[in-house]
Amino acid sequence: MRRLLAPRGAAARLERAGQPSPDTPWRQAGWCVVDLELTGLDRRDQIIAIGAVPIDDGRLTLGRAMYTLARPSRPPQHAAVLVHKLRFTDLADAPPLDEAIDLLLDSLAGRVPVFHTSMVERTFLGRELKRRRARLPADADTELLGRLWLRERDGVAPARLSLARLASVLGQPAETPHHALGDALTTAKAFIALASHLDAGQPQTVGSLQRAEETLRSVRRP
């Protein structure tokens, strides 16, 4: 029988910390909003910046926010540089990706991850956790939550909802765009507003916020 290797280091701490149960009221759970900047969106591309903002008791915990660059093994694609303005030379003195990921995993320990359009973050972070023999916990996605809220408010859910558009419809000023910490802050403020709006209609839990996609599918059915 093949023996499964256990995660170590920050990945082991993440798994030992566990997660809030799905029936935990959302304000009683710890959350961690994460945003990444990348060298590009191809399979070979890498994470070059990480921003993370904790949320406790339904409020931002800015004193524990985390931001780090990460040194890639290959230059960012030109199209990516035009977006996030991080050149290969800007990353030369950054810590290696393994160190940056460990910082993030420690920030995530015991918290529910929050992303905007989580597919990108889950793809790149999932790859890093797989190397550490661990898995990324289930997340909440502010794009899905925003579409769900607009479906409840307006009777129709947009097919897509960018972070900038979401901040605008919520009446919130956006932080520095295409900067990992700036986008994490914008996402965190949006998450708190969306969870509060949805909670006003029906009490929200960790599980209900994580199941936004399932809820959206169910409300489309005749």
pLDDT digits (tens, 9 = 90+) for 174-184: 999 999 999 99
Closest CA to 80 of 66, 94, 91: 91
Phi/psi for 141 (5° steps) reads: -120, 120
pLDDT of residue 218: 84
Structure tokens at 188: 């965190």
Tokens describing residue 157: 């859910």
CA distances from 27 to 30, 31, 199, 203 (A): 8, 9, 10, 10
Bridge partners for 34 per DSSP: 52
pLDDT per residue over 83-99, tens digit each? 899 999 999 999 999 99
Which tokens in the block code for residue 131? 């190397």
On the question of pLDDT at 220 being above 70, the answer is no
Q: Roughly what angle, to the nearest 10 degrees, separates helices 97-108 and 118-131?
A: 110
pLDDT in tens, 119-143: 999 999 999 999 999 999 999 999 9
What was the pLDDT predicted at 1? 41
pLDDT of residue 83: 87
Residues 6+ apart with CB under 8 A from 175: 181, 182, 183, 185, 186
Q: How far lies 66's CA from each of 33, 43, 117, in Å? A: 10, 26, 20
pTM (2 d.p.): 0.93
> What percent of the chain has pLDDT above 70?
95
Q: Considering the chain, what is the average pLDDT of its residues?
A: 93
∠ at Cα 65 (61, 71), nearest 5°?
170
- HSE, CB side, 13 Å, CA atoms: give it for residue 186: 25
Q: Which residue has the higher pLDDT, 31 or 217?
A: 31
Given this model, what pLDDT does residue 60 score?
Answer: 97
